[in-house]
Amino acid sequence: MEIKNLVEKNRNYIRDMRRYFHAHPELSFEEFETTKKIAEELDKLGIPYEINEKLGTGLVGVIKGAKPGKTVALRADIDALNVTECTDLDFKSQNDGKMHACGHDAHIATLLGAAKMLMEVKDDIQGKIYLVFQPAEEVGLGAKAMIDFGTWYEETDNIFGAHVWSPLEAGKISVEAGERMAAADQFIITVEGKSGHGSAPHETIDAVVVASAIVMNLQSLVSRNYSPLDSVAVTVGSIHSGNRFNIIAGKAVMEGTNRYFSKDIAARIKDDMLRVCENTAAAYGATATLEYNYILGPTTNDPESSAIAEEAVRKVAGPEALIKVEKVTGGEDFSFYLENKPGCFAFIGGGNPDIDADFPHHNEHFNIDDSVLAEGSGVYAQYAIDFLKENA
């Protein structure tokens, strides 16, 4: 039986699963009940799995085909956010202050749907398929934790994942090759000056002034240090300094993030920032230190894997479903899987203004059109089948 013929059969199941998980969100590394529910569904399907007991959350299921072959992994993230939901949905969050405001509920349901489809064609599968239900994507730590869990990653030859995307029209799917999502770094800059009375600035070294100068000078990193053909974003998201209106602050702490797609930029951006911070501070008689954390690398699709994904979309949803989408500067810890394995990361359109499913991700009104998730499940399943068949 073709996967396309299983899409409609499983549409209601996938929708119902998405709505169940939407109503029961859990935060990063706290997805204990979510993991139990996923395990229950895999039990019903007769799919063996192993829960990450070290974390108590996240699991990996396995479907072994009737014929030997390569190994492919399919991944879905499962965590929610610290957001108080403000929708009127019948299945809105039942957990105060927690919400699936990024679509991970849809990701769980989509992979479960793919698992159901794959089990119906199990005898035709040439190889092994791992089903990876990953915790803690929102904090960028879950992928590494799952890579270190068991032997599934070491055994995997290729990996596929997807993100439902509210800015993209429901039913459209993007799987093109190359750069898809940005690296996400964090930095903390600490400025040390000299505090004093607001009436005598000449006796001080004003940390607020120094911090302001650093913020402005950092903008030249993008405009004068990197090629205009490279996408780079340097953002100072917070500045904390001083505690009284008539005291000149002697210390300021800034936090922010850098986004880019090139590994060449990753190799130099920390040193470039340090140079700007130290030299700007020195010009005012102050000092500045930089703490720099590489949280996520860029997510880059392998061309051969993207070609497999494109054909899977054509088979399941039709060629009209394929759409080209510009790379985005959001980060995704799927990038860790792609550091050492080829694979593809897709965007599945979930936006539909007719049902108020057009709010941005992480918004308290976030929703997606879950009627299209069955096609997403079909693409997951078809990708696995096609990769294994092409590499038999």
137 catalytic, yes or no? yes
Whether 144 has a pLDDT exceeding 90, the answer reads yes
Whether 11 has a pLDDT exceeding 80, the answer reads yes
Q: Which of 367, 261, 382 is nearest to 321 (CA)?
A: 382
pLDDT attached to residue 132:
98
Cα–Cα distance for residue pair 130/343, rounded to 1 Å: 14
| Distances in whole angstroms, Cα of residue 13 to Cα of each of 16, 80, 195 | 5, 21, 63
Average pLDDT on 349-376 reads 97
24 marked as part of a ligand binding site:
no
Of all residues in the chain, the percent with pLDDT exceeding 70 is 100
Average pLDDT on 89-108 reads 98
The residue type found at 350 is G
Whether 146 has a pLDDT exceeding 80, the answer reads yes
CB count in 10 Å sphere of residue 48: 11
Average pLDDT on 246-256 reads 98
202 marked as part of a ligand binding site:
no
pLDDT attached to residue 160:
98
pLDDT tens for each residue of 160-172: 999 999 999 999 9
138 marked as part of a ligand binding site:
yes
Whether 178 has a pLDDT exceeding 90, the answer reads yes
- Sketch the domain layout of the chain as residue ranges: 4-180+298-390, 183-296
Whether 55 has a pLDDT exceeding 90, the answer reads yes
Average pLDDT on 177-185 reads 97
Which band of pLDDT confidence, cut at 50, 70 and 90, is reported for residue 261? Answer: very high
pLDDT attached to residue 102:
98
Q: Which of 101, 78, 233 is nearest to 166 (CA)?
A: 101
pLDDT attached to residue 392:
84
> Among the options 26, 41, 77, 79, which is catalytic?
79
Whether 277 has a pLDDT exceeding 90, the answer reads yes
Mean pLDDT over all residues of the chain? 97
Is the domain defined by 183-296 classed in CATH 3.40.50.300?
Answer: no
pLDDT attached to residue 283:
98
CB count in 10 Å sphere of residue 365: 17
Lowest mean pLDDT across 224-228, 315-319, 348-352: 224-228
Helix spans in 175-323 (H) = 207-220, 263-283, 303-317
**Topology match between the domains 4-180+298-390 and 183-296:** no
C-beta of residue 14 within 8 angstroms of C-beta of residue 374: yes
22 marked as part of a ligand binding site:
no
pLDDT tens for each residue of 325-339: 999 999 999 999 999
pLDDT attached to residue 174:
98
Joined together, the tokens standing for residue 319 give: 């060629």
Average pLDDT on 191-207 reads 98
197 marked as part of a ligand binding site:
no
Cα–Cα distance for residue pair 372/382, rounded to 1 Å: 16
Which band of pLDDT confidence, cut at 50, 70 and 90, is reported for residue 263? Answer: confident
Q: Which of 213, 207, 281, 211 is nearest to 248 (CA)?
A: 207
Q: In CATH, which of 1.20.1080.10, 3.40.630.10, 3.90.870.30, 3.40.50.2300 is domain 4-180+298-390?
A: 3.40.630.10
CA atoms within 13 A on the CB side of 142: 27
Whether 1 has a pLDDT exceeding 80, the answer reads no
> Among the options 26, 77, 137, 386, which is catalytic?
137
The residue type found at 225 is N
pLDDT attached to residue 360:
97
Average pLDDT on 275-287 reads 98
pLDDT attached to residue 358:
95
Average pLDDT on 46-68 reads 96
pLDDT attached to residue 150:
96
Of all residues in the chain, the percent with pLDDT exceeding 90 is 98
pLDDT attached to residue 224:
93
